[in-house]
Amino acid sequence: MCIEELSDTLIDHFNYPRNIGIIDYPNGEGFNGDPKCGDYLEIYIRVENNLIEDISFLVFGCFGAIATGSMTMELAKGKTLEEALKITEEDIIQALGGLPEDKKHCSNLGVTALKNAIKDYYSKEKN
């Protein structure tokens, strides 16, 4: 695969991932992947009044995992929990301007970790 085949947006999110790290006082955390054998992503959210006020991630993986994780943050930040739960793998791929076929599975990392973080938030709020 040549770099010319990658969109400028994808390259930008790989080189300069948004919202990387761990936010202060997250009230929801979600994980996806397997750090022992491949791509792994952790998402931290802070929800206030049903809105994702802040969000961040840590990732171990290839350029696809980094770029899709970054784009997931961009798409989810400022959304209601219900809106964030509707973000799909295809939304992430389209927002990045496409992904090589062998990297499309990476879009699942962020989507699933985000859903897990929201589920964690709901379980903490219930208790």
**Rg of the chain over CA atoms, in angstroms?**
14
> How far out from the chain centre does Cα 22 lie?
13
The dihedrals phi and psi of 88, each to the nearest 5 degrees, come to -115, 165
Catalytic-labelled residue, pool 1, 2, 37, 48: 37
Q: Is 106 a catalytic residue?
A: yes
Q: Is 62 a catalytic residue?
A: no
Question: Measured between alpha carbons, how far is residue 71 from residues 9, 17, 26, 58, 125 in Å?
Answer: 9, 8, 19, 13, 27
Catalytic-labelled residue, pool 66, 106, 109, 114: 106
Residues labelled catalytic: 37, 106
